[in-house]
């Protein structure tokens, strides 16, 4: 029996002589053959906060350059297979939407094509969207392309020219050579504060480990029986025998996607280092734990998972590494109080979710309906006039940051960064007209009616 597949009859015989394709000799010029891009606003980082910033900036009429070291759009929302959008709503019997902007179009489009499912109620009493990461990535790519945003992928930041409180330009490199980006304003949506760090500005780092998670998807399980499994049963067995399988975490989630035959799992914990070689170690450790989770499920819950296998490994999901030092750090006490600051630019309600131990995470629940605010002052590095951070590298204490780093607030912070820089133009962004900015961001600050 042959293992070869014969090609279709119509392509077995060439239809004509092959076309000549000439070549030429090339050599790199002396000195850097740098290509320069000019823009009104440059966004570093194409995760959900960076995509929000880029789209909002473009819709406001700016020329935008979006830069990411990865080879695709979407950041952790896509490549780490987070799988759920949380933080768009507050908590209570009738959750209220807190963040709009690109979230409205994204959710509507993915719901319409069946690539997203809304889940309400449950322990958190909120609305959570479970999504297909492949379709979310394609939505982001299409939106960026349709907005005419110049996008540089596989492009790594190498240097920041910073002088007199302003970023003059970014120097980057990709596989085709060095790149320079000149812009009036810059959004640091890198997750790790890379732009601010390379500018030589002061940063904050946690003094104790904050653990990341390597999410993954599984297939080959009983898709009907899994609906009867209570995740608390899994947690109990993890606490009892997890160490026998080389597992450290005793909680986490197993979430079946109702429109498919795969299940999302996040039952791993890995320490997140900031040294250059540490990321690979995090990947290897996370995947080792994933394989052990599969072994655990097969052995401990065979009626459901006897034949389960890994469908895909995500990239490590990083929660907190390094973030900016601003003029006014957001604190847990401010989240607890819910008092609206004068320069509020976003609101949120997600609970404190600090992953500060291998076994479990620390959760602090707020009252139903409790809402707190994110000020512009915690998004601007103290010594910078034209950088605004968005996402998990804004300035908050470790507990407050663990609450606001989720997708809903990240989308809102991206929008705030874009509009702040648009209004500031070439003036210092911390002197922006707050009333005008809040007017633009009204949907993310106030409930209708």
Domain count, the chain: 2
Q: Kindly report, residue by residue over 159-210, the tens digit of the pLDDT.
A: 999 999 999 999 999 999 999 999 999 999 999 999 999 999 999 999 999 9
Classify residue 7: in a domain, yes or no. Answer: no
Give the per-residue pLDDT at 261: 83
Give the per-residue pLDDT at 3: 63
Domain that holds residue 279: 211-313
Q: Kindly report, residue by residue over 2-38, the tens digit of the pLDDT.
A: 566 665 555 555 566 667 777 777 666 666 678 999 9
| Whether residue 422 sits in one domain with residue 386 | yes
| Whether residue 54 sits in one domain with residue 70 | yes
Classify residue 22: in a domain, yes or no. Answer: no
| Whether residue 370 sits in one domain with residue 305 | no
Report the relative pairing of strands 64-67 and 150-152 from DSSP bridges. parallel
| Whether residue 370 sits in one domain with residue 254 | no
Give the per-residue pLDDT at 15: 61
Q: Kindly report, residue by residue over 372-409, the tens digit of the pLDDT.
A: 999 999 999 999 999 999 999 999 999 999 999 999 99
Cα gap 331→348, rounded to integer Å: 14
Give the per-residue pLDDT at 24: 78
| Whether residue 146 sits in one domain with residue 85 | yes
CB 411 within 8 A of CB 100: no
The helix/strand/coil state of 235 is helix
Classify residue 9: in a domain, yes or no. Answer: no
Classify residue 227: in a domain, yes or no. Answer: yes
| Whether residue 186 sits in one domain with residue 57 | yes
| Whether residue 338 sits in one domain with residue 234 | no
Long-range contacts formed by 60-63: CB under 8 A, 24+ apart: 60/418, 60/419, 60/422, 61/422, 62/418, 62/422, 63/38, 63/39, 63/150
Q: Kindly report, residue by residue over 204-216, the tens digit of the pLDDT.
A: 999 999 999 999 9
What do you get for the CA distance between the two ends of the chain, in Å? 72
| Whether residue 201 sits in one domain with residue 75 | yes
The average confidence (pLDDT) of the chain is 94
Classify residue 449: in a domain, yes or no. Answer: no
């Amino acid at each position: 029996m042959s293992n070869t597949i014969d090609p279709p009859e119509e392509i077995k015989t060439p239809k004509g002589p092959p076309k000549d394709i000439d070549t030429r000799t090339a050599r790199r010029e002396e000195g850097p053959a740098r290509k320069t891009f000019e823009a009104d606003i440059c966004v570093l980082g194409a995760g959900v906060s960076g995509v929000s910033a880029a789209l909002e900036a473009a819709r406001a009429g700016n020329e935008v350059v979006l830069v990411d070291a990865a080879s695709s759009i979407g950041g952790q929302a896509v490549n780490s297979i987070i799988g759920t959008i949380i933080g768009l709503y507050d908590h209570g019997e009738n959750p209220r939407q807190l963040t709009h902007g690109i979230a409205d179009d994204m959710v509507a489009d993915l719901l319409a094509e069946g690539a997203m499912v809304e889940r309400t109620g449950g322990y958190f009493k909120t609305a959570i969207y479970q999504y297909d990461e492949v379709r979310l990535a394609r939505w982001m790519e299409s939106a960026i392309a349709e907005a005419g945003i110049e996008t540089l992928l596989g492009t790594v930041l190498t240097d920041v020219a910073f002088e007199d409180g302003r970023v003059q330009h970014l120097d980057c490199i990709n596989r085709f050579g060095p790149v320079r980006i000149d812009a009036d304003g810059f959004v640091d949506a890198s997750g790790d504060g890379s732009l601010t760090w390379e500018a030589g500005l002061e940063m904050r780092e946690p003094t104790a480990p904050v653990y990341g998670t390597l999410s993954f998807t599984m297939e080959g399980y009983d898709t009907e029986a899994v609906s009867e499994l209570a995740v608390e049963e899994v947690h109990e067995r993890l606490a009892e025998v997890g160490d026998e399988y080389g597992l450290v975490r005793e909680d986490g989630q197993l979430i079946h996607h109702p429109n498919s035959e795969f299940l999302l799992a996040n039952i791993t914990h890995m320490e997140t280092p900031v040294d250059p070689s540490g990321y690979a170690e995090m990947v290897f450790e996370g995947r080792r734990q994933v394989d052990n989770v599969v072994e655990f499920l097969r052995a401990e819950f065979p009626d459901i998972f006897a034949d389960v296998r890994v469908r895909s490994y995500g990239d490590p999901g990083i929660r907190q590494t390094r973030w900016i030092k601003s003029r006014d750090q957001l604190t847990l006490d401010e989240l607890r109080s819910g008092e609206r600051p004068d320069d509020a630019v976003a609101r949120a309600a997600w609970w404190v979710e600090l992953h500060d131990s291998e076994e479990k995470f620390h959760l602090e629940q707020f009252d139903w309906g409790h809402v707190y605010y994110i000020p512009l002052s915690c998004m601007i590095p103290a010594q910078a006039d034209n950088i605004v951070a968005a996402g998990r590298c804004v300035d908050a204490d470790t507990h407050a940051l663990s609450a606001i780093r989720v997708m809903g607030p990240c989308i809102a912070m991206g929008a705030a960064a874009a509009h702040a820089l648009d209004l500031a133009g070439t003036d210092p962004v911390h002197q922006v007209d707050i009333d005008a900015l809040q007017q633009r961001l009204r949907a993310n600050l106030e409930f209708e009616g």
